[in-house]
Amino acid sequence: MKSCRVHIMGASGSGTTTLGRALADRLAAPHHDCDDYYWLPTSPPFREKRPAADRLRLMEQMFLGRSNWVLSGSLDGWGNVLIPLLDLVVFVRAPTDFRLMRLRDRETRHFGAEAVSPGGWRHDETEQFIDWASHYDDGSREGRTLTRHEAWLKTVTCPTFRADGARAIVDIVQDIVQALTD
């Protein structure tokens, strides 16, 4: 395998970041997450979007020129210039209830149970985020949706791989490594 530039995408809570880290570890390649480029660093996080040109410039500075990397997150709508660089796109799907359970767990771990509970400083934002994420499949909210992702996948010129995000990460990684060597 002379180069290995993999993009892992899917709905919030489908496991893209966890899978990205695990695949990068297996390939001994650096892992990057779109959220680190998409959002400006704020406290609390995820409040202000970084302009798309700045995202791409940072990615170029950090890793795009390298031959091996794994990028998790969503590029559709702003990262199409990266498509020619990709060797494989992995599309992760998971049942909505499973994703929402993961998201609630992640919000609790990240901000604390008290913060995301009713009356907590992060409660309303967490509930809004969960509500938004719950509409990925039906596409009734603005932003990341199944329909948008499927349309974006049609623009990709490299091979694609579909993964079940409810499966064990180690098994998905093995399947992806096999797809990269086929």
pLDDT in tens, 62-116: 999 999 999 999 998 899 999 999 999 999 999 999 999 999 999 999 999 999 9
Amino acid 6 reads V
Q: Over range 24-48, report the average pLDDT.
A: 94
- Confidence band for 45, pLDDT divided at 50, 70 and 90: confident
pTM of the predicted structure, to 2 decimals: 0.94
- In CATH terms, 4-181 corresponds, of 3.40.309.10, 1.10.1740.10, 3.40.50.300, 3.90.550.10, to 3.40.50.300
Q: Determine the pLDDT at residue 182.
A: 82
Instruction: Provide the residue ranges of all domains of the chain, joining segments of one domain with +.
Output: 4-181
